[in-house]
A and B are shown apart, each in its own frame.
Chain A
Amino acid sequence: MTNTAVPATAPEVVDRVIIRFAGDSGDGMQLTGDRFTTSSALYGNDLATLPDFPAEIRAPAGTLAGVSAFQVQISDHDITTPGDAPDVLVAMNPAALHSQIGRVAPRATVIVNGDAFDDRSLAKAGYSTNPLRDGTLDGFTVYEVPMTSLTRGAVEPLGVKTRDAERSKNFFALGLVSWMYTRPVDPTLEWIDKRFATKPTVAEANTVAFKAGHAFGETAELFAHRYEVHPAKLPAGTYTNVTGNTALAWGLVAASQLSGLPLFLGSYPITPASDILHELSRHKNFGVRTLQAEDEIAGIGAALGAAYGGHLGVTTTSGPGMALKSETMGLALNLELPLLIIDIQRGGPSTGLPTKTEQADLLMALYGRHGESPLPVLAARSPSHCFELAIEAARIALTWRTPVILLSDGYLANGTEPWRLPDVASLPDLHVEFATEPNHMNPDGSEVFWPYERDPDTLARPWALPGTPDLMHRIGGLEKEEGSGNVSYDPANHERMVRIRAAKIAGIADHIPEAEVTGDVDDAELVVVGWGSTWGAIDGAASRVRRSGHRVAQVHLTHLNPLPRNLGDVLRRYPRVVVPELNLGQLSRELRAEYLVDARSVTRVRGLPFTAAELELAILDHLEVAP
């Protein structure tokens, strides 16, 4: 890339910007957003992203149903969310403009592909008049760029067919926005070469389109401003940009390495969890076995079978699959074998909103099995946190010989953030001791193996692998006699076993961190309690409320069962408890039941993350109410 033209003015420095790319499902908006994100990450900005796409692979072109969007916030300081209202909207067609304009900031910059605003496309998008002419966009700074024809003009000389040439217009848009925000261009050009190495014509077309977009920004006098967002001052280290699903998959590989147990994933494809299956199936050199099972039940069944054989068994799914797996979870908790169940939550009930985010599986995770069947439940708070939490879930599963449910969601799964890579040597040791000898003496002096003779500290049972001489034993879903594990229908034994299983899980609370309070710890008027992916928005909202003069404390829960030992005391310390959730109040119900505190809910179920702004208002509202 040669930068011959010098912009009229030096770029204006801003501390952060929120950009939203929107177009047809076939326009490559996710790719465009992803490339912009990567070059920003490499440049050193802090960032967070929000892909927002429909469940249909290709809804009819040009319709509102087919709009696919990608939002990214880039910043020169530490940020935790992809931002609320975009400062810049790139709309590749009228449908994109129509569906997205309602969410952009007042006086935002709107860049549209002018070529796409013909009568037919306007009608498909539900416009009766052209919004570029009828005053709809008054108050916005609108740049109408004929992206299709400019791309065609740039690419056609390469001998590319018209239709193919037009397909590079997302790279034109990317080039233009890269210029506007002074992004480095080399990472994108290198990426194009690598990604399309086997299709040199496509690589060339995309390169030319990207450069044309960049040059257009430089030379067209259309653009009044160019901006720069300086690198953020992040802690020293090596960084990479990860999605939650990638971080989770890597965390599982790490857990396998740290425990010395081969990883076995049994899974059935389901949005938004499938990327974990895709990622893990690539890493066979780590000894990872993956089975794309015939259904969700077989996915967890195979994982449980592998766990019985001494592997680190994992199943990944989303809400509808969780429902199908519940019977096998009950079996696994009765067998008391380690197993990881990963639920990437999406909008429900039923098929619901497959590509959108929600936190409405919490109560299912806690209680969605028959009988008294408590399981440990964890929830990740950010994309990179998924790595750490996969290891934590494995630690609990292996130590207490229990299935563990790990909750993520669609927002974390597909969203990205820069991640300071951990020091591998500092990761915990998850080494497991298997049973090798009999552990019980019969009255006649003979030594036998009792599969339910428990460790007195953890109440975990021994794990004897098939293949171990002299420890042959039978386990199953029927109630077992305490100790021997033989089938037992004795009433008193059943009561004992139910209470032992509950006590085992409850006892994990002694081995997890206490709830950490941040913000105005000593004198807050209100404590905000959250869990899972709402962390970023809550953190942003609480900071804003503090800036307006209030004293606010925060608690963000990672362990949802058992809850941290000190949580009750923490909640009772503050006059108001507010619990924002992307459901109708599931955690608040838990906190009320568990601690008899007046936990107030803030709930949204739109398939989208909270914005910091709406949470700020909600917290301010609660502050006005007398405690």
Chain B
Amino acid sequence: MSDTVIPVTTRKDWSSDQEVRWCPGCGDYSILAAVQLLMPDLGIRREDVVFVSGIGCAARFPYYMNTYGMHTIHGRAPAIATGLAMARPDLHVWVVSGDGDALSIGGNHLIHALRRNINITLLLFNNQIYGLTKGQYSPTSEVGKVTKSTPFGSLDHPFNPVSVAIGAEATFVARTHDMDRKHMMEVFRRAFEHRGSSLVEVYQNCNVFNDGAFGEITAKQNRDEMLIPLRHGEPIRFGAEGSRGVVIDGQRGAHIVDVADVGEDALLVHDETRSDPSVAFMLSRLARGPHEPTPVGIFRAVERPEYGEGVSRQLAVAQKERGPGDLETLLRSGATWEVG
């Protein structure tokens, strides 16, 4: 592509001709809208974008984007995207996954993609339930959850996706939710602009099998008291008129306080660029589930060499030092002898 002018597009240009087939009222619709609305603003061409997904409700996402897309198999999207991103650093590779896809069957691929810092933008739609298989508990479901496969309540301790990602030392980790388009778009943009692996957990309502799972914190009237906005460089505070905040002390780690009790200066100033993931991890542990004040926004955004760049650099160095490969020379690189 020699012409450098990016054509002006609208949401319509980024929408495929396929009928969207999620259940009416599904949170996936608002996430799709946020992505389609954001795309025209990113300064990229549709043909340079690939959406890769695994299996699950969220995994149908690529069919609805007028970009290149690959709907693959359960849990493997990060692995497949790894190959694509390594092979084609010129592309913008997005991965769309769910809590079962990314954290259960595909948990291994997820953490390895994150630690390698593959250049992908990974949206993890967390609805704390298996939707496509009609209502079994997921690796993010709360203990005691009664579902078709756990009539006596589930015994499994859940994963916190943000904690898992920070534990894998992902270089970009964020959380948003399907009830706030503006917040989603802001976070998705930052995730897209980050070089390396970006993981965004999106709290997403499954109105059929797990309706209202996040209502306690994401409903409009609850947000002030229950969502803790993380803003880089600002003290972490929330609640009516910022009356509550987060402090770190040596004995209890990060915890929530009344600002009036400790004073403003005692509040933790959010720094998403700390290379040590410990503070970001502590923030991810503030809420034990979506029924306590929960941080949203960008937990961590640090610089680390992106994997594909490293691969390309090694190739370039080898070609510079040894010259482009020559097959004839390769075949004669061992001991040879002549006959006749």
Contacts and interface: CB of A to CB of B under 8 A. Distances in A.
A244 to B, nearest CB: 14
- The listed residue with most B CB atoms (<10 A of its CB), out of A262, A289, A305, A330, is A305
Chain A interface size, under 10 / 10 to 19 / 20 to 34 / 35 or more: 35 or more
Contacts of A470: 47
Interface in A18-76: 38, 41-42, 44
5 contacts: A298-B82, A327-B73, A472-B66, A474-B63, A475-B69
Given A250-B330, A302-B83, A469-B1, A287 B69 contact: no
B261 interface: no
Contacts of A246: 334
A253 B83 contact: no
Contacts of A297: 76, 79, 109
Nearest to B46: A472
Interface string B313-340: 0110111011111011011101111111
A303 B46 CA distance: 24
B82 A238 contact: no
Interface stretch (B22-30, B84-92, B151-159): B84-92
Contacts of A301: 72, 76, 79-80, 82-83, 109
Interface in A230-268: 231, 234-242, 246, 250, 253-254, 257, 262, 264, 266
Interface of A: 38, 41-42, 44, 187, 231, 234-242, 246, 250, 253-254, 257, 262, 264, 266, 283-287, 289, 291, 293-295, 297-298, 301-311, 313, 327-328, 330-331, 335, 420-422, 424, 466-478, 486-487
A606 B330 CA distance: 36
B278 interface: no
B325 A283 contact: yes
Given A42-B335, A238-B338, A301-B80, A289 B86 contact: yes
Contact of A254 (B87, B322, B327, B340): B327
Nearest to A190: B335
B133 interface: no
Q: Which 9 residue pairs across A and B have the least CB separation, nearest first?
A: A236-B340, A476-B71, A305-B83, A286-B325, A302-B83, A301-B79, A284-B318, A305-B84, A474-B69
B285 interface: no
A187 B336 CA distance: 11
A91 to B, nearest CB: 28
Contacts of B67: 472
A241 B46 CA distance: 50
- The listed residue with most A CB atoms (<10 A of its CB), out of B45, B327, B338, is B327
Contacts of A298: 76, 79, 82, 108-109, 112
Nearest to B331: A421
Contact of A257 (B63, B323, B325, B338): B325
Interface of A is mostly: mixed
A293 B111 CA distance: 12
B72 A421 contact: no
A310 B16 CA distance: 23
A250 B331 contact: yes
B42 interface: no
A253 B327 contact: yes
Given A289-B86, A305-B82, A474-B62, A239 B48 contact: no
A285 B339 contact: no
B331 A240 contact: yes
A95 B146 CA distance: 62
Nearest to B62: A474
Given A285-B321, A309-B87, 19 more contacts: A44-B337, A234-B340, A239-B336, A246-B334, A253-B327, A253-B330, A286-B325, A298-B79, A298-B82, A301-B109, A306-B87, A308-B70, A309-B88, A311-B87, A424-B328, A467-B91, A470-B47, A474-B71, A476-B71
B314 A284 contact: yes
Contacts of B46: 472
B338 A239 contact: yes
- The listed residue with most B CB atoms (<10 A of its CB), out of A42, A286, A331, A478, is A286
Contacts of B325: 253, 257, 283, 285-287
Interface of B: 1, 16, 18, 45-50, 52, 62-63, 65-73, 76, 79-88, 90-91, 108-109, 112, 311, 314-315, 317-319, 321-325, 327-328, 330-332, 334-340
Contacts of B84: 305-306, 308-309, 466
B47 A264 contact: no
A241 B334 CA distance: 8
Contacts of A310: 87-88
A38 B335 CA distance: 8
Nearest to B312: A289
Given A287-B315, A297-B76, A304-B80, A42 B71 contact: no
Contacts of A331: 72-73
Contacts of A471: 47
Nearest to B74: A327
Given A310-B88, A311-B87, A421 B336 contact: yes
B190 to A, nearest CB: 24
- The listed residue with most B CB atoms (<10 A of its CB), out of A304, A310, A474, A477, is A474
Contacts of B1: 467, 469
A466 B88 contact: yes
Nearest to B75: A297
Given A331-B73, A466-B47, A472-B46, A295 B108 contact: yes
Contacts of B91: 309, 466-467
B227 to A, nearest CB: 34
B193 to A, nearest CB: 20
A304 B315 CA distance: 21
Contacts of A187: 335
A461 B68 CA distance: 16
A304 B69 CA distance: 14
Contact of B70 (A234, A424, A476, A486): A476
A256 to B, nearest CB: 9
Contacts of A469: 1, 45, 47
A382 to B, nearest CB: 16
Given A283-B325, A305-B82, A472-B68, A477 B73 contact: yes
Contacts of A304: 72, 80, 83
Contacts of B109: 294, 297-298, 301
Contacts of B338: 237-239
Contacts of A242: 334
